[in-house]
């Protein structure tokens, strides 16, 4: 991130002076409330209301224009109606204001006029080097005691905390602030970035990466404008020495967009599926609800990172203990097996009827001493990476004391802990104690397990080896020469195979033959059995018109098949113009997988991989990545599908050539990145045998743009 951007964002979060331009005297209106919130939040700088026609606002001297303020102004918060925002911003630019937050709506979101207005705003910012948040946003909050800025129309200033929240939706922000306050969660920085006419979510992520007050970043997005930029930024932020987790909700799924596409890849590669891939390859943990987001966030912000995925459960209720165990296992957490010394300690300190195995059941009548003893034992166990404490409120359960005991044990530990005091009313006194001590509490143990599982995803991501994309040797010029003068539309099968061949994909020897004699001559050359496939611009689905003949063992069979095919097609589809027949050898049987590519308007070239043939339609077991991909990404793609165990050799079958598939994906990724006329591509199926047999392209469709 360049220094100019950092300075601009410093002026937004840590301004020495703020002018609110367009303030009114009417409480309950956005222009007044923003001014009042800055005043009341304990802002550490100097505040100027710019309110034409008013002498003062809330006893603070008002200015007619921002240019009337004698001193320098770092940040302008513009609350004027959209129609005069340009005038206000231009005046700020002339005054030398470094940054602006435009709260006002009425820009890109309202249609063509608004788009033009927003462009003029961008132009002014560029001319005067103004760092801009908004327009159409709730504002910005910084709880850092050195700033204490609530430049928003949220009702209350949140408490200081280690979590930053970035949102494209303004209205959601107020709900999030209220939700978080209800759970004793605060924020380090809180930004509603609205239309992103200036500062983008990527700029903010970079800034928060360096922000000493932020440990966890939460992001709410409705659209991805620069998926690749986000991926590159997040990769840097979520890994390395100063790694910070990013949890994101991406709403606005658009299946309609996917429906419009024609190929398998096109119909499956909707924006949302690709977004999943972008987030996965960037280390962003995608969640679908605010609950899931905050459940993981508090564990990340308040507790140390676990060394592994082994969890110990301590409970006073057998049923919830089992439910938690089920949930933990289903989310890929391991139930820790205690060391013998832990078991001995538990045996010593718990009643004979207690369950001293994991989940440890301290029994319904347990009081704080029993909880503390059990927790102290399991937390010190070398096989335990994290602990979940469950409580149900019986008549003798000393809820507050137990909560205090948990806090005491946790203070001495460097392993993460989560609690679930099940219920709502009686347990609240204990929950308050836990939350004040920053021990994450969940209303249900299953939610705690899900949060722990999301933390595990982050641990796993940090341990993943990332490699740089290294181009493979290919004949790009040959592929370009094939497609150079071709019109928009689908490539002929032989041409499509030749393009793949130029990029080193395993294509069987083939030839487009114009007559039966030529077909026989070629088959003699490559050897029998041979395959015959009709080539015609009017025939898309060859099998529907009996346009494929397999396993032709000799010249006689081949010749007959050729003539029969021409005759049959002449009868069933007389308008079909037969260009010729593609002759190739038989491909040995193998696993059918699909490799696809699509040029996405937002993300550019994307890749798809999944179980192929008929399965692709039925199971839709596919995964995506942005092209090109490196070795690691190819490996992750192949292992991402549910059916990977089939490829790995389920039930004693021979494993498929996984390395071969990965190489095909890398070559395909390179191809669609190089050849920007390719809009969609399906290799379906790629037949994959064991390593010694390798893979072969059985069918391919490539569509070119104009």
By beta-carbon proximity to another protein, the closer residue of 92 and 217 is: 92
Q: Which residue has the tokens 């919130």?
A: 37
CA dihedral over 97, 102, 104, 108, signed as positive or negative: positive
Round to whole Å and give the CA distance between 473 and 490.
26
Round to whole Å and give the CA distance between 92 and 130.
9
By beta-carbon proximity to another protein, the closer residue of 29 and 251 is: 29
The CB-of-124 to another protein minimum distance in angstroms stands at 15
By beta-carbon proximity to another protein, the closer residue of 31 and 135 is: 31
Round to whole Å and give the CA distance between 373 and 353.
16
Q: What are phi and psi of 214, to 5 degrees?
A: -115, 130
By beta-carbon proximity to another protein, the closer residue of 80 and 522 is: 80
By beta-carbon proximity to another protein, the closer residue of 79 and 641 is: 79
* Half-sphere exposure of residue 207: CA atoms within 13 angstroms, side-chain side: 25
Q: Are 602 and 271 in contact (CB under 8 A)?
A: yes
Q: Which residue has the tokens 């001995």?
A: 344
By beta-carbon proximity to another protein, the closer residue of 87 and 341 is: 87
Q: Are 152 and 101 in contact (CB under 8 A)?
A: no
By beta-carbon proximity to another protein, the closer residue of 54 and 235 is: 54
Reply yes or no: is the peptide bond before residue 359 cis, omega within 30 of 0: yes
Q: Are 482 and 502 in contact (CB under 8 A)?
A: yes
Round to whole Å and give the CA distance between 113 and 119.
10
The CB-of-612 to another protein minimum distance in angstroms stands at 59
Q: How many residues does the chain have?
A: 706
Q: Are 198 and 76 in contact (CB under 8 A)?
A: no
By beta-carbon proximity to another protein, the closer residue of 31 and 669 is: 31
By beta-carbon proximity to another protein, the closer residue of 135 and 186 is: 135
The CB-of-52 to another protein minimum distance in angstroms stands at 4
Distance from first CA to last CA of the chain, Å, rounded?
Answer: 37
- Structure tokens belonging to residue 452: 């722990």
By beta-carbon proximity to another protein, the closer residue of 91 and 665 is: 91
Distances in whole angstroms, Cα of residue 222 to Cα of each of 39, 102, 172, 201, 291: 32, 19, 11, 11, 18
By beta-carbon proximity to another protein, the closer residue of 54 and 677 is: 54
* DSSP symbols for 172-233: HHHHHHHHHHHTT--BSEEEE-TT-SSS-HHHHHHHHHH-TT-SEEEEEES--S-HHHHHHH
The CB-of-108 to another protein minimum distance in angstroms stands at 20
Burial of 585 (0-12, 13-18, 19+ CB in 10 A): middle
Round to whole Å and give the CA distance between 623 and 630.
15
The CB-of-20 to another protein minimum distance in angstroms stands at 13
Q: Are 389 and 375 in contact (CB under 8 A)?
A: yes
* DSSP symbols for 263-323: SHHHHH--HHHHHHHHHHHHT-EE-SSHHHHHHHHHHHHHSPPPSSSEEEEEES-HHHHHH
Q: Name which of 522, 519, 496, 518 is nearest 509 in CA terms.
A: 522
The CB-of-391 to another protein minimum distance in angstroms stands at 54
419 Cα distance to chain centroid: 28
Q: Are 596 and 269 in contact (CB under 8 A)?
A: yes
Residues that bind another protein (CB under 8 A): 22, 24, 26, 29, 31, 51-54, 64, 80-81, 83-84, 87-88
By beta-carbon proximity to another protein, the closer residue of 68 and 401 is: 68
- Structure tokens belonging to residue 699: 């069918």
The CB-of-5 to another protein minimum distance in angstroms stands at 29
The CB-of-22 to another protein minimum distance in angstroms stands at 8
By beta-carbon proximity to another protein, the closer residue of 81 and 570 is: 81
Q: Are 377 and 345 in contact (CB under 8 A)?
A: yes
The CB-of-225 to another protein minimum distance in angstroms stands at 31
Q: Name which of 389, 392, 395, 363 is nearest 376 in CA terms.
A: 389
By beta-carbon proximity to another protein, the closer residue of 81 and 489 is: 81
The CB-of-50 to another protein minimum distance in angstroms stands at 9
Return left, alpha or beta for 377; rule: phi > 0 is left, psi -120 to 50 is alpha, else beta: alpha
The CB-of-458 to another protein minimum distance in angstroms stands at 47
Round to whole Å and give the CA distance between 13 and 143.
9
The CB-of-260 to another protein minimum distance in angstroms stands at 38
By beta-carbon proximity to another protein, the closer residue of 84 and 470 is: 84
By beta-carbon proximity to another protein, the closer residue of 62 and 626 is: 62
- Structure tokens belonging to residue 318: 């057998």
The CB-of-399 to another protein minimum distance in angstroms stands at 52
The CB-of-91 to another protein minimum distance in angstroms stands at 9
By beta-carbon proximity to another protein, the closer residue of 65 and 490 is: 65
The CB-of-27 to another protein minimum distance in angstroms stands at 12
The CB-of-94 to another protein minimum distance in angstroms stands at 14
Q: What are phi and psi of 18, to 5 degrees?
A: -130, 135
By beta-carbon proximity to another protein, the closer residue of 49 and 393 is: 49
The CB-of-137 to another protein minimum distance in angstroms stands at 20
Q: Where are the beta strands (DSSP E) in 562-627?
A: 580-585, 591-600, 604-611, 622-626
CA dihedral over 611, 703, 224, 663, signed as positive or negative: positive
The CB-of-154 to another protein minimum distance in angstroms stands at 22
- Structure tokens belonging to residue 140: 């910005």
- Structure tokens belonging to residue 632: 């690691």
């Amino acid at each position: 991130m360049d220094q100019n951007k950092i300075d601009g964002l410093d002026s937004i979060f840590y301004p020495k002076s703020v002018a609110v331009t367009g303030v009114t005297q009417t409480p309950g209106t956005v222009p007044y409330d923003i001014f009042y919130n800055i005043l009341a939040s304990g802002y550490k700088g100097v505040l100027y209301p710019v309110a034409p026609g008013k002498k003062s606002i809330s006893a603070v001297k008002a200015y007619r224009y921002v240019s009337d303020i004698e001193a320098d102004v770092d940040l302008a918060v513009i609350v004027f109606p959209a129609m005069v925002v340009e005038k206000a911003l231009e005046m700020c630019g002339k005054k030398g204001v470094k940054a602006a937050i435009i709260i006002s709506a009425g820009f890109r979101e309202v249609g063509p006029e608004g788009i033009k207005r927003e462009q003029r705003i961008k132009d002014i910012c560029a001319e005067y080097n103004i760092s801009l948040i908004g327009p159409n946003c709730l504002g910005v909050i910084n709880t850092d005691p050195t700033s204490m800025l609530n430049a928003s129309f949220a009702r209350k200033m949140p408490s200081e905390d280690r979590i930053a929240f970035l949102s494209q939706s303004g209205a959601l922000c107020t709900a999030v602030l209220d939700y978080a306050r209800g759970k004793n969660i605060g924020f380090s920085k809180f930004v509603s970035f609205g239309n992103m006419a200036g500062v983008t979510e990527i700029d903010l992520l970079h800034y928060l990466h360096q922000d000493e007050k932020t440990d966890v970043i939460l992001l709410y997005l409705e659209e991805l404008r620069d998926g690749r930029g986000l991926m590159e930024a997040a990769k840097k932020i979520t890994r390395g020495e100063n790694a910070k987790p990013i949890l994101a909700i991406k709403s606005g799924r658009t299946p309609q967009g996917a429906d419009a596409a024609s190929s398998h890849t096109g119909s499956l590669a909707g924006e949302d599926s690709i977004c999943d891939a972008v987030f996965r390859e960037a280390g962003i943990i995608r969640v679908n609800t605010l609950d899931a987001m905050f459940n993981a966030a508090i564990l990340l912000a308040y507790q140390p990172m676990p060394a592994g995925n082994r969890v110990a459960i301590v409970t006073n209720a057998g049923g919830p203990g089992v439910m938690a165990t089920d949930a933990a296992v289903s989310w890929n957490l391991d139930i820790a097996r205690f060391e013998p010394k832990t078991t001995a300690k538990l045996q010593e300190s718990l009643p004979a009827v207690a369950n001293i195995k994991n989940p440890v059941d301290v029994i319904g009548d347990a009081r704080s001493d029993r909880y503390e003893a059990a927790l102290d034992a399991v937390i010190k166990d070398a096989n335990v990476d994290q602990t979940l404490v469950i409580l149900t409120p019986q008549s003798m359960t000393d809820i507050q004391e137990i909560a205090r005991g948990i806090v005491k044990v946790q203070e001495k530990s460097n392993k993460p802990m989560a609690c679930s005091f099940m219920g709502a009313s009686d347990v609240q006194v204990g929950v308050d104690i836990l939350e004040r001590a920053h021990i994450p509490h969940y209303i249900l143990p299953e939610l705690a397990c899900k949060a722990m599982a999301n933390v595990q995803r982050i641990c796993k991501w940090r341990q993943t080896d990332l490699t740089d994309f290294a181009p493979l040797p290919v004949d790009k010029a040959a592929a370009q020469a094939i497609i150079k003068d071709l019109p928009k539309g689908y490539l002929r099968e032989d041409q499509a195979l030749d393009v793949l061949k130029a990029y080193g994909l395993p294509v069987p020897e083939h030839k487009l033959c114009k007559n039966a004699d030529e077909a026989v001559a070629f088959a003699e050359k490559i050897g029998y059995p041979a395959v015959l496939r009709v080539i015609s611009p009017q025939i898309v689905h060859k099998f529907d018109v009996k346009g494929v003949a397999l396993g032709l063992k000799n010249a006689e069979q081949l010749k007959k098949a050729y003539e029969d095919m021409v005759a049959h097609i002449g009868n069933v589809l007389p308008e079909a113009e037969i260009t010729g027949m593609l002759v190739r050898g038989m491909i040995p049987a193998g696993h059918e997988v699909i490799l696809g590519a699509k040029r996405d308007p937002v993300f550019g070239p994307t890749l798809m991989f999944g179980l192929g043939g008929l399965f692709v339609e039925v199971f839709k077991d596919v995964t995506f990545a942005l092209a090109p991909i490196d070795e690691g990404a190819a490996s992750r793609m192949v292992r991402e599908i549910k059916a990977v165990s089939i490829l790995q050799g389920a039930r004693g079958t021979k494993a498929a050539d996984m390395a071969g598939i990965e190489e095909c994906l890398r070559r395909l990724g390179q191809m669609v990145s190089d050849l920007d006329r390719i809009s969609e591509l399906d290799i379906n199926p790629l037949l994959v045998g064991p390593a010694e047999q390798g893979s072969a392209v059985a069918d391919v469709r490539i569509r070119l743009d104009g």
